[in-house]
Structure 1
């Protein structure tokens, strides 16, 4: 009787250990919380700076056990709001929002591990592809990633694109076009398992 109890206990300990190892080796899946996340564009004109903000419609991050981080984020171009409906209508026109409705980024970073102490901040460079106005371009996006816990992460980034390189006609005001450079600022809140 003692031997069978010991064998059962040993079997339970081994299976618990195997399950713990399997969980440690599993990929972690995070989802962007749209209500707490944003994409903001900034355009400069001689007379003022234009800023529009949208919530991402979809966003996922997958952290593999080897430290590879895979990210995919999408937002609707028509959702960007600058607080001026005429300006927003013109932006939708020049970006052809009905023909090219989404802005998408897919990227990969390496060397990212879930820390053992929180909060923990990491600098990450996502190498990937931005699709905007029907044009795909390879780019690197520097991000500041903060693990507030093992399940909650915030990520902020800032990068610049050329409107002309994405074949977008630069909007104009008083016959003066905005600068070609468009700044994109990303702020994401992510939660594991959602």
Structure 2
């Protein structure tokens, strides 16, 4: 009888340990919380600067057991708001928002470690592709990733893209075109799926 109980106890301990190891080795999936997140553009002209903001329509991040981070984010071009309706209408026209309605990024980074204490900050460089105005271009995005809890993460970064490389006709003001460089800034809040 004692052997039987001991065998059951050993079996339970082994299976519990195996489940814990499996959980530790599983990929972690996070979703961007659109209402708490933003994608911001900064555009410069000799006479002034323009900032526009949009909430991402969807976004996912996955951390694999080997430390690989995979990210995919999408936003609607028509959602960018600079606080000036005429300017926004002109930007939608220049970017052909009706024909190319979304801006999308997919990227990968290495060396991400899920921490055991919080908050915990890590710096990573996402390497991937940005699709804007129907054109894919390679980009590198330096990101500051902060694990604020076991299930909550913030991710912020800035990078430049070329309007001309994405075949966007640069808007003009008083016969002077805006700068070719468009700075994009990401401010994302993410929640681990299944941890609501």
Q: TM-score range by the shorter chain?
A: over 0.9
Distance 2:138 2:180 in 1: 18
Distance 2:154 2:92 in 1: 29
Distance 1:182 1:100 in 2: 17
Q: Which runs of 5+ in 2 are unaligned?
A: none
Matches within 5 A, 1:111-190: 111-190=111-190
Displacement after TM superposition at 1:47 (Å): 1.2
Q: Does 1:14 align with 2:32?
A: no
Instruction: Give the corresponding residue for 1:48.
Output: 48
Q: Normalised by the size of structure 1, how large is the TM-score?
A: 0.98
Matches within 5 A, 1:61-140: 61-140=61-140
Runs of 4+ more than 6 Å apart: none
Distance 1:121 1:21 in 2: 25
Corresponding pairs, count: 194
Displacement after TM superposition at 1:149 (Å): 1.2
Secondary structure class of the residue paired with 2:165: helix
Q: Normalised by the size of structure 2, how large is the TM-score?
A: 0.97
Displacement after TM superposition at 1:143 (Å): 0.4
Distance 1:144 1:171 in 2: 32
Displacement after TM superposition at 1:133 (Å): 0.3
Instruction: Give the corresponding residue for 2:32.
Output: 32
**Cα RMSD after superposing both structures:** 0.7
Larger mean Cα displacement after TM superposition, 112-121 or 50-59: 112-121
Q: Which runs of 5+ in 1 are unaligned?
A: none
Distance 1:150 1:132 in 2: 34
